[in-house]
Structure 1
Amino acid sequence: MTVPRILPSEEAEALLDLATQLADRELAPRAAAAEERGEFPEDVVKQLARCGLLGLPYPEEFGGGGQPYEVYLQVLEVLASRWLAVAEIVSVHTLACYPLAAFGRPELRAALLPELLAGDRLGAYCLSEPAGGSDAAALTTRAVRDGDGYAVTGTKAWITHAGRADVYNVFCRTGGPGAAGISCLLADAHTPGIVPQAPERTMGLRSSPVAQIAFDGARVPGDRLIGEEGQGFAIALSALDGGRLGIAACAVGLAQGALDYAVEYARGREQFGQPIIDFQGIGFLLADLATQISAARALTLAAARLRDAGRPYSLEAAKAKLFATDVAMRVTTEAVQVLGGYGYVADHPVERYFREAKVLQIVEGTNQIQRLVIARGLARRSGGA
């Protein structure tokens, strides 16, 4: 299905056309088999990098695309509608570039950011821990001063690109308890003492591995500190605002792909002498799903425009992530139902879409956390803050 779009420039239109061509030619034909095998699409990531799609929202002076977030998110949506794991890989890499781009010292940024944006290095974001996902301020991984560097000890969990990434953003405790004691270090993956564990056995997104990472006295140079000591938690939250929009765009893309498949099936499947899409029970259901996808897309892009304008957007990002991922869960569930028994078997992709949608309600802050963020924002506003 062709989605009507209003893009801010001819360059943006060309980028979206390029992303669509790549998605149709390289992603869609491979997705099912690669997911079944749990195969990381390294060659696809390299191809996206060569086409300039790994650094779209970052400055051109560092090799980025210099594009508004509004454009970047629409590219993500297109990728996700063909192969969610690839879009999620791009989203996580973009998130992993943010601390360095926004808070890194100029010399460190100049040395490393171009390699990340060019796809020569893949980034990862290490915040969650086995005993604490939502309560990130209680993390226990510790970095102790060791000469002119830090010795990092602890375990991170649910790390996308674990064992595949070249650099890790490691959020660790350099001070006392609570958010004020957290810092961010940018560690090379080959550092002795950084040991990725076996990949988790996930229900979906099997082409994008997640795993724990053990840090056993891993020594990170002091010049790899991002920002200042004690600034790590603020960096993490700032990065997650943009990351949540990335996941929202992925959710919109997945939902659109599932709807498109269900509509085509309903047009071709006949029961009682007519296509099932002509039955009101099916037609009205699909109409509702299409409307919710459009609403999720609009909410996501509205938040992106606030970000592009330099205005506060944290609450809108939380709303977009919450709504879009809930919509993706509903759309993929109903897509299985539209196909009936055929929706339950792997011969059709909707069962995979259904399994993949669930994780989007969990990553970058669960949807319960999004509701908490929104509710606290409403309370502050009502109090005059």
Structure 2
Amino acid sequence: MTPLDLLDLDSLLDDEERQIRDVARQLVADRVRPHVADWYEEGRVPARELAREFGKLGLLGMHLTGYGCAGSSAVAYGLACLELEAADSGVRSLVSVQGSLAMYAIWRYGSEEQKQRWLPALAAGEAIGCFGLTEPDHGSDPASMATRARRDGDDWVLHGGKMWITNAPVADVAVIWARADEGVRGFAVPMDTPGVSVREIRRKLSLRASATGEITLDEVRLPAAARLPEAVGLKAPLSCLTEARHGIVWGALGAARDCLETTLAYATTRTQFGRPLAGFQLTQAKLADMAVEWQKGYLLALRLGRLADAGRLRPEQVSVGKLNNVREALDIARQCRTILGANGISGEYPVLRHANNLESVLTYEGTSEIHQLVIGQRLTGLSAFA
């Protein structure tokens, strides 16, 4: 048991869950940790190379079944997300967007032809997917999306744009959501389709070890077979977000744990005024409060994972997890930075990198305010969105 596992939470996992967690942790230690600080500083990530590595271990779409997917439990998927984000939120985002957004959308709403075409390659990391919902002028309000899909004979024609799309600069396929006369519809769009263009978003101060882009759709003509036949209405993309948010609930804990472990090691070896920093009451109070919040977040994530595996997880429950765990993880990262002092802003330590990343995680796939309103609607029966 590690010092952070105050409540012996590891005993709540079964052997398979621990094994999957340990495999993900070792992969991160070997393949990501030695390089991620440089990737972050340089604003790049070897996404295709990482995708193939993750695919070999079955981490892509791992909670889905068939088509080359591992069919793991929701808890095992969450534990993998935790280990990935303990290295960097951008690396976990690569896996989340691939598996819980692009792959899940095709797996849940696609035709058999679409599943056969895309899922095995995506699961193996031989292809990369992205998920186009957010737009330049429509983030928290996807119901107001401006991207349009119109019928033209047997074809569909898409026109519009998507913004802040993880994996877009390296993607082979995009799941694009657009408004048609019949309502919101989803499409599996090969990125080499005429009329599709991508601009990589540079000069980010957060999630720098992640490929982010803007997708422009200029009268993109698609065959009828490109439409996801089971995706009808806005509930379809929102259900994909619920899948991805579950991974975020776990992933944020990874960033927080890495900050805590780094800070514990630093505080017990850094000497000031004749004793280690960890020997001062104020430092111990900070560490104690952070460790308690981490344990509470882990229990929350585990509860949501068990509900997901039982088929009983509701969207507002995921909102509770994302609201709490990302908010607390960010607070932990900021507090850890204070203990490290000036060293806390150095790239030699991961703490401020995690804090910067968590600023984005706090906002994407539902801001804290949106999740508060989701929970508020459940509590009161009244919608405050309109």
Category of TM-score, reference length = shorter chain:
over 0.9
1:98, 1:239 within 8 Å by CA — same for their partners in 2? yes
The percent identity for this pair of structures is: 32
Q: Deviations over 1:32-56 (max 9, x none)?
A: 0111112222322211111111121
**Secondary structure, in 3 states, of the residue corresponding to 1:5?**
helix
Aligned to 2:217: 215
1:127, 1:136 within 8 Å by CA — same for their partners in 2? yes
**Secondary structure, in 3 states, of the residue corresponding to 2:168?**
coil
If asked which structure has higher relative contact order (CA below 8 Å, sep 6+), I would say 2
CA distance in 2, matches of 1:142, 1:69: 34
**Post-superposition shift, 1:7?**
6.3
CA distance in 1, matches of 2:105, 2:200: 27
1:89 aligned residue (68, 90, 94): 94
**Secondary structure, in 3 states, of the residue corresponding to 1:145?**
strand
CA distance in 1, matches of 2:218, 2:11: 50
Aligned to 1:15: 20
CA distance in 2, matches of 1:305, 1:160: 28
One-letter amino acid matched to 2:113: E
**Post-superposition shift, 1:200?**
3.7
One-letter amino acid matched to 2:194: P
Q: Which runs of 5+ in 2 are unaligned?
A: none
2:122 aligned residue (103, 111, 116): 116
| TM-score using structure 2 length | 0.93
Aligned to 1:77: 82
Aligned to 1:377: 378
CA distance in 2, matches of 1:6, 1:88: 28
Q: Deviations over 1:119-157 (max 9, x none)?
A: 121111100111110010000101111222211110111
Q: Tell me the C-alpha RMSD between the 2 structures.
A: 1.8
**Post-superposition shift, 1:340?**
0.9
CA distance in 1, matches of 2:41, 2:323: 28
CA distance in 1, matches of 2:78, 2:119: 20
Q: Deviations over 1:199-244 (max 9, x none)?
A: 2421121121222111001112211211357x14111111111111
One-letter amino acid matched to 1:363: Y
Aligned to 2:229: 227
1:66 aligned residue (71, 87, 106): 71
CA change 1:285–1:8 in 2 (3 A) is closer
Task: Please give the residue correspondences for 1:284-303 in structure 2 after superposition, counting only pairs within 5 Å.
Answer: 284-303=285-304
1:252, 1:324 within 8 Å by CA — same for their partners in 2? yes
CA distance in 2, matches of 1:8, 1:101: 27
| TM-score using structure 1 length | 0.93
Aligned to 2:318: 317
2:200, 2:211 within 8 Å by CA — same for their partners in 1? no
1:150 aligned residue (153, 156, 180): 156
2:198 aligned residue (196, 199, 209): 196
